Amino acid sequence: MKKNGSAPRQAAVQRATKETDIQVEWTLDGAGQGKIDTGIRFFDHMLELLSKHGFFDLTVKAKGDIDIDEHHTVEDVGIVMGQAFHRALGEKAGIKRFGFASAPLDETLAQVTVDLSGRPFLVYNVNLPDRKIKAFDLGLFEDFFQAFVTHGGLNLHVNLMYGRNPHHIMEAIFKALAKALDQATMPEERLAGKVLSTKGIL
C-alpha cells in the first residue's frame, strides 16, 4: 500500500566497476520484503533487518572482489543504496523529513536520528568491543554509512548508548536506522504536499 496514495516511490539502480557489480531496487512504501545477496552473510543479515523493520521492499544483488577484501563491496553497496533511496524519494514533497528511533537488543541500546535534508553528513559514535564477526570487519559499516549518506543526501547520526555483544550492537543500529528512515519518509498530512523547509526545497 502506498503511504500517500500517489505514484509508487521506488527506484532501481545498477552500478558496475572493475571491482563490483551491484543492483538495488528500493520501494519505500513496501511490506518489508527483502531479497539480499551480497556474498557477505552478516552484511546480508543487516540489510534484511533494514528492509523488514523499515517496511521497505529492498532487493540488493552484489558481486564483488571479496576474495581480496569485503571493503569494495560494502562501500559500493552503500553508494548504490544511497542513489536508489534518493531517487525513490523524488522531490521529498509532503514527507515528515526527520526521523528518530531507539532500539534495544538485550544489553545493547542504539539511537539513530535522520534528516532527509539533502545535506550529507555522518556522525558515527560506535565503539565496538570486537571488530570482527567471524572474518568480517565490522568497522566497514562506517564506510557503508558514509557512502549511503553521501549518495542519499541525508544527515545521519548513529549513537551507541551502550552494548557488549558486537552482533547485538550492529543489529540494534540497523533496526533503529530502519525505524528512523520509515518515520522520516512517511507523509505529513499537514504539509498538503509541500516540502518541509523554509527554503521550499530539500
> What is the model's pLDDT at position 6?
66
> What is the model's pLDDT at position 8?
87
Which residues are CB-contacts of 7 (< 8 A; sequence separation ≥ 6)?
none
> What is the model's pLDDT at position 4?
47
Across the range 137-162, mean pLDDT stands at 98
Q: CA 149, 154, 155, 156: dihedral to nearest 10 degrees?
A: -50
- Under DSSP, the state recorded for 190 is G
What percentage of the chain exceeds 70 in pLDDT?
97
Sign of CA dihedral 114, 128, 38, 63: positive
- Encode pLDDT of 24-76 as tens digits: 999 999 999 999 999 999 999 999 999 999 999 999 999 999 999 999 999 99
- Encode pLDDT of 66-103 as tens digits: 999 999 999 999 999 999 999 999 999 999 999 999 99
What percentage of the chain exceeds 90 in pLDDT?
95
Task: Dig out the grid coordinates for 12 from the structure.
Answer: 532501481
> What is the model's pLDDT at position 2?
46
State how far the Cα of 160 lies from the Cα of 181, in Å rounded to an integer: 17
